[in-house]
Amino acid sequence: MIWLAWAALAGWVVLALSGFWLCAERDERAALADPQVWPEVVAVVPARDEAEVIARSLSSLAAQDYSGPFRVVLVDDNSSDGTGAIARGLGIARLTVLDGAPLAAGWTGKLWAVHQGIAAAGSPHFLWLTDADIAHAPDTLRRLVGIATAGDRKLVSLMALLPAKGWAERALVPAFIWFFMMLYPFNRVNRPGWVAGAAGGCVLVEREALAAAGGIAAIRGAIIDDCTLGRLIKRQGPIWLGLTRRSLSLRPYQGWGEIARMIMRSAYAQLFYNPLLLVACVAGLALLFAMPGWTALAGHGVVRLAGLAALGLMVLLYQPLLAFYRRSPAWALALPLVAAFYTACTLASALAFYRGRGGMWKGRAQAAR
Count of H helices and E strands in the chain?
Answer: 14, 10
Query: With bands split at pLDDT 50, 70 and 90, how would you rate the model's confidence at 334?
Result: very high
Rounded-to-integer distance, Cα 41 and Cα 35, Å: 14
Distance separating alpha carbons of residues 130 and 89, to the nearest angstrom: 20
> Is this prediction's pTM over 0.85?
yes
- The residue among 235, 229, 198 whose CA lies nearest residue 118 is 229
Q: Taking the CA of residue 320 as centre, how many other CA atoms within 13 Å lie in the half-sphere pointing to its CB?
A: 14
- Can you tell me the distance from the alpha carbon of 302 to that of 338, in angstroms, rounded to the nearest whole number? 27
Q: Which of 40-44, 221-225, 314-318 has the lowest mean pLDDT?
A: 221-225
Quick one: pLDDT band at residue 255, thresholds 50, 70, 90?
Answer: confident
Cα torsion 90, 94, 99, 104: sign: negative
Task: Judge whether residue 359 has pLDDT over 70.
Answer: no
Phi and psi angles of residue 83, each rounded to the nearest 5 degrees, phi first: -55, -50
Distance in angstroms (rounded) separating the CA atoms of residues 143 and 245: 12
**Contact yes or no for 116/101 (Cβ under 8 A):** yes
- Residue of higher predicted confidence among 300 and 212: 212
pLDDT exceeds 60 at position 40: yes
Is 254's pLDDT higher than 80?
Answer: no
User: What's residue 356's pLDDT?
Assistant: 84
Nearest by Cα to 95 from 117, 66, 123:
117
**Section 2-26 average pLDDT:** 95
Strands (E), 3-108: 41-47, 70-76, 95-99
Domains and CATH numbers, the chain: 2-20+256-355 (no CATH), 32-150+193-237 (3.90.550.10)
Mean pLDDT, to the nearest integer, of 100-126?
96
On average, the pLDDT of the chain sits at 94
As a whole number of angstroms, the distance between CA 319 and CA 162 comes to 17
Q: How far apart are CA 221 and CA 276, in angstroms?
A: 22
15 — pLDDT class (breaks 50, 70, 90) = very high
**Residue 182 CA to chain centroid, in angstroms?**
12
pLDDT more than 70, % of the chain: 96
Return the pLDDT at 355. 87
Read off the pLDDT of each residue in 163-190 and give the average, rounded to a whole number.
93
Instruction: For residue 86, give the 3-state DSSP assignment.
Output: helix
pLDDT of residue 110: 94
Instruction: Please tell me the least confidently modeled range out of 228-232, 302-306, 365-369.
Output: 365-369
Q: Per-residue pLDDT averaged across 158-177, rounded? A: 91
| For residues 72-98, average pLDDT | 96
pLDDT above 90: residue 206: yes
pLDDT at 7: 96
Four-residue CA torsion sign, 165, 168, 171, 174:
negative
